[in-house]
């Protein structure tokens, strides 16, 4: 069953996401980039508000990271009590970067690390096996430049299916995100990802920096549940319209 990841900016938004049926509460600051980080205290407050009802993930900011700075960010984020810490992974990593990632797995425990690859930055999918070898918990394919289009504008469905299958083959959770809309759901559900990540589609006016809209969350939740239950095959883009333009 593919699940709904809803990105939120605060405890108040987490309550809205919970009420709308989100399966994973994902903490980020959209005003600070694709993986903009919130302050550790904001993360801790939201974890407390969620109170174990859902898994919680949080980002540590956009790459590139200096190795020591990355470890400091992971330490603060993991200490706030999240289940997953999300880290952006560029296509090219130095030996020092790999050493830092190995240390990061240990520092984050018991939180699991989720690597985020960027579909609009020529992602190297061969990194998936190496990340699994470091004992990451999952891998996600997202977009770095939100103004550059949706995930499926950069990567076709065959590649997305391969991404999910490759992650599952080495025991990683697989997620897809990147300016997704309701129209993308019937295309993505058959590809086998464990979750689909949304922000803009859940917000007033489809603006990712606006506040969450409870009705939009319910629309996306319903679309995932309905399409998943019916096992609908991909359809033409023109045959489906967003339920909330």
Q: Which residues are catalytic?
A: 28, 86
Residues whose CB is less than 8 angstroms from the CB of residue 52 and which lie 6 or more positions away in sequence, other chains included:
none
Q: Which helix (H) or strand (E) holds 5?
A: strand 3-8
The two tokens of residue 211 are 């506040």
Cβ-count burial 133-162 (b if 16+ within 10 Å, e if not): eeebbbbbbbbbebeeebbbebbeeeebee
Residues whose CB is less than 8 angstroms from the CB of residue 5 and which lie 6 or more positions away in sequence, other chains included:
22, 23, 24, 26, 57, 175, 177, 195, 196, 197, 198
3-state helix, strand, coil in the chain (%, to 5): 50, 15, 35
Closest residue by Cα to residue 143 from 192, 95, 106, 198: 198
Reported as half-sphere exposure (CB side, CA atoms, 13 A), residue 239 has a value of 7
Do 120 and 154 contact (CB within 8 A), yes or no? yes
């Amino acid at each position: 069953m593919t699940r709904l990841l809803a990105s939120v900016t605060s405890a108040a938004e987490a309550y809205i996401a919970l009420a709308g049926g989100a399966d994973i509460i994902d903490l980020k600051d959209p005003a600070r980039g694709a993986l903009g980080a919130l302050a550790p205290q904001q993360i801790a407050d939201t974890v407390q508000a969620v109170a174990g009802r859902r898994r919680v993930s949080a980002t540590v900011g956009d790459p590139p990271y200096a190795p020591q700075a990355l470890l400091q960010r992971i330490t603060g984020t993991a200490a706030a009590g999240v289940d997953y810490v999300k880290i952006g992974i560029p296509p090219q990593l130095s030996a020092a970067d790999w050493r830092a990632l190995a240390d990061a797995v240990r520092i984050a425990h018991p939180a699991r690390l989720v690597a985020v690859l960027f579909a609009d930055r020529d992602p190297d999918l061969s990194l998936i096996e190496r990340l699994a070898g470091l004992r990451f918990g999952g891998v996600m394919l997202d977009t770095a430049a939100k103004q550059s289009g949706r995930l499926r504008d950069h990567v076709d469905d065959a590649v997305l299916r391969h991404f999910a299958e490759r992650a599952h083959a080495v025991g990683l959770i697989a997620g897809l995100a990147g300016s997704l809309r309701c129209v993308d759901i019937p295309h993505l559900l058959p590809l086998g990802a464990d979750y689909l990540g949304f922000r803009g589609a859940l917000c007033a006016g489809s603006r990712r920096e606006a506040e969450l809209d409870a009705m939009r969350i319910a629309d996306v939740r319903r679309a995932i549940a309905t399409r998943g239950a019916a096992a609908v095959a991909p359809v033409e883009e023109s045959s489906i319209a967003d339920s909330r333009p």
